[in-house]
Amino acid sequence: MELQQWFEQKTPGWGRPSMFPLNELYVKDSGFLAKLVSRVFENHPEIASEFRPKDPNLRTGYMSLLLSLIETMCKSPQEISKDDLYDAYAALGSMRDVGFKLDWLEKKLDEVLEKKENEEAIENGLQEMEEELKEMKQKCLGMEALVEKEKEKVLAARAPLSFEDVV
């Protein structure tokens, strides 16, 4: 099972050290994972009221998946793709299917998706504005060159005739 490999001490390449320091992960009472899970359960005590797996590895795997979902949602809109968010929705659905109550997390995921869509819309609008500004600057440069030519013509038209021009 892939979830078990995420935290396999023999294959640290599978770990996610940015979130789960492997040297603290398995400490039963005060390990990093235990602290994070405790905080989730403090804020949402009903989260796993219907989730009763007999296999402790399965329970740990789902808790790791839950924390991974939360980690994904904590990324900035710039760092996360819509595909990541759709994958998060799929993972959320599979966790619901086994008995997790995650309405609160789905609301947060909706907020993250909305922020991502908003960020993309703003970025697209900004790109359009920058392109328009670039075109306007080009027009301004062309107009400035035209103004300079016209000024030269005006100066030439204002110049008095010289003696040589008259004779």
Instruction: Write the DSSP string, 3-51.
Output: HHHTT-TT-GGGS-TTT--HHHHT-TTT-HHHHHHHHHHHH-TTTTTT-
Domain ranges across the chain = 2-166
Is the CB of residue 16 less than 8 Å from the CB of residue 6?
yes
24 neighbors 16 (Cβ within 8 angstroms): no
Pick 22 or 116 by higher pLDDT: 116
pLDDT tens per residue, range 55-79 = 888 888 888 899 999 999 999 999 9
Distance of CA 142 to the CA centre of its chain: 40
Give the pLDDT confidence score for residue 69 in this predicted structure: 92
